[in-house]
Structure 1
């Protein structure tokens, strides 16, 4: 599927209009319900195919952030053979008390995977938490770059940020 066709398919599947409060506290009249495209096997496969070339060479672990980054990181892991970890917003308080479930991240080159980035706030928190466990993180990948502030914040923190789509590309898909 061509990138423009994928943008249109994501738009048609996941775009909602109304008044939506975002995690950042902002309000938006456009919302992309990531679970609608992540739960669609055809779209998730196409998204994965497009993200694969963006995974940096030498990546040893893919880190899917709770919750939306997990299906994307999982499908990337299946396609690339790179192990995956599932990153909680905070370490669980029972059992193993882990923050990142799955492969060991200590001393490994980890690529953080997220679905939608607005300000990058949760990514910065999670990346710093992962670094405390010994992860080496330089790159963040996402499907949708909702707001340029996210890119600014991630790059200011020293990360390379790569997104499959900017919000405007998806909104323009309506007219295709």
Structure 2
């Protein structure tokens, strides 16, 4: 599927209108319910196909953030053969007490995988936690870049940031819907 058609499919599948409170606390009339595109195997496969081209060379681990980044990281791992880790917002307090489940991230070059980025707040917290665990966190890859503030915050922290689509790309795709 080409990129323009993929944008339309994501829009058709996941775009909602109404009044929505974002993680940042802001209100929005446009919302992309990422779980609607992440739970669609054909669409998630097409997203992974396009995202795989954006993974920085040298990436040793794809670190999917709880919860929405996990299916994207899994699809990318299947597509590329790069191992995945699944990063909790807080290390569990029982069993292995791990922050990152799956492959060990210590000493490895990690690309954080997220579905939608608004301010990048949780990514910054998780990047710091992964660094404490010994990971070399250099980049972030997401499906939808909702606001420029997220890019600014991540790049200010020294992270390379790549997005498949900006919010305005998806909203503009509606003008070509047939």
- The verdict on a shared fold, with TM-score over 0.5 as the criterion, is yes
Residue aligning to 2:85: 85
Structure 2: any 5+ residue segments left out of the alignment? none
Residue aligning to 2:164: 164
Residue aligning to 1:28: 28
CA displacement at 1:79 relative to structure 2: 1.0
Tell me, yes or no, if structure 1 residue 151 matches structure 2 residue 151: yes
Structure 1: any 5+ residue segments left out of the alignment? none
Structure 2 length-normalised TM: 0.98
Distance 1:147 1:57 in 2: 26
Write the mapping of 1:95-110 to structure 2, written as runs, cut at 5 A.
95-110=95-110
Distance 1:159 1:40 in 2: 30
Write the mapping of 1:13-162 to structure 2, written as runs, cut at 5 A.
13-162=13-162
CA offset digits 1:92-139 (Å, max 9, x no partner): 011000000000111000000000000000000000000000000111
1:101 aligned counterpart, secondary structure: strand
Compute the RMSD of aligned alpha carbons. 0.5
Distance 2:2 2:80 in 1: 21
Distance 1:133 1:90 in 2: 13
CA displacement at 1:53 relative to structure 2: 1.1
Distance 1:103 1:6 in 2: 30
Poorly superposed stretches of 4+, deviation over 4 Å: none
2:114 aligned counterpart, secondary structure: strand
Distance 2:164 2:20 in 1: 23
CA offset digits 1:41-92 (Å, max 9, x no partner): 1110000000011111111110000000000000111111111000000000
Structure 1 length-normalised TM: 0.99
